[in-house]
Amino acid sequence: MARVKMAAGNWKMNKTPKEAVEFVNELKAKVEGSYSEVVVGVPFVALSDVKKAVAGSNIKVAAQNMHWEEKGAFTGEVSGPMLKEMGLEYVILGHSERRQYFAETDETVNKKVHAVFKYGMTPIMCCGETLTQREQGVTADLIRYQVKIGLLGLTPDQVKQIVIAYEPIWAIGTGKTASNEQAEEVCAIVRDCVKELYGSDVAEATRVLYGGSVTAASAHDLFNMPNIDGGLVGGASLKSDDFEKIAKYNG
């Protein structure tokens, strides 16, 4: 079966609960009937209201992070049972901003991936390189390392479900976008790494997204590349007209 394209919006630290509900209420009609799976990655404080607002629509809701422990003395953190009880489908993990500003590592991302599966949700696991790393020619090695550690200990069925998002750090929020060929090259590296670890059937089932200043204008050509199964979209996901165009990509 062909992999279903995904348009996943990562709102980051934007939108109050009221603004978030107003936005998804507007978005629901715009993305109705989309061929892509539509996901919005919402700040913690708006998750409950947004989940209620999208009920009955084709929009799914993701948290932007999660702790790997079930409960405990982890001030400011949110656990799997908390998110699961809200009915969330996805959790974004290992975003470069989490790694850069909050000291996340490949090992902690792996712990979180396991926890997300444990509580019945699906991880959207991010990987990506800095401009310096790209210029040093270590992109392939770095991406393979991040993917291998991130997937460590997962079953083949879990890897078929996971969504891996390649985000070149040098193209996030900078207005720069990797060329279609650059994005495809690294997404192919991700898929080849999964194939090496789990075999062809699993690799062909695993969805690989591209993220990094994806726009309504660039999405069509990017998503037409053979190893790119949609996008993890930042700024454009905050504009309903732009996100509608991205979500309604149909090849």
Report pLDDT digits (tens) over 140-175.
999 999 999 999 999 999 999 999 999 999 887 777
| Band of residue 251 on the pLDDT scale cut at 50, 70, 90 | low
Average pLDDT of span 184-209 = 98
Q: Which of 233, 241, 150 has its CA nearest to residue 190?
A: 150
Task: Specify the amino acid at residue 155.
Answer: T
- Residue 95 known to be catalytic: yes
- Residue 167 known to be catalytic: yes
Mean pLDDT for the chain overall: 95
Catalytic residue among 95, 104, 129, 184: 95
pLDDT score at 250: 67
Name the DSSP class of 119: T
- Rounded CA separation 164/105 (Å): 16
* Three-state DSSP state, 207: strand
Q: pLDDT at residue 1 above 70?
A: no
Phi and psi of 59, rounded to 5°? -90, 130
Q: Where do the structural domains in the chain lie, given as residue ranges?
A: 6-247
- The answer to whether 88 and 50 have CB atoms below 8 angstroms apart is no
- The answer to whether 234 and 92 have CB atoms below 8 angstroms apart is no
Task: Provide the percentage of residues in the chain whose pLDDT is more than 70.
Answer: 98
pLDDT score at 61: 98
Lowest average pLDDT, out of 38-42, 144-148, 209-213, 224-228, goes to: 209-213
Average pLDDT of span 49-72 = 98
Count of residues in the chain: 251
pLDDT score at 170: 87
pLDDT score at 176: 73
pLDDT score at 196: 98
- Rounded CA separation 29/238 (Å): 16
Name the DSSP class of 43: -
Q: Enter the pTM of the model.
A: 0.96
Q: Is 38 left (phi over 0), alpha (psi -120 to 50) or beta?
A: beta
- Rounded CA separation 169/177 (Å): 10
pLDDT score at 212: 85
* 193 Cβ contact partners less than 8 Å away, ≥ 6 residues apart: 143, 144, 147, 148
CATH architecture of 6-247: Alpha-Beta Barrel (3.20)
pLDDT score at 174: 73
* Three-state DSSP state, 77: coil
- Rounded CA separation 201/217 (Å): 32
Q: pLDDT at residue 113 above 70?
A: yes
Catalytic residue among 37, 97, 129, 167: 167
Interhelix angle 180-198/139-151, rounded to 10 degrees, is 40
Q: In this predicted model, what pLDDT tens digit does every residue of 73-107 receive, in sequence order?
A: 999 999 999 999 999 999 999 999 999 999 999 99
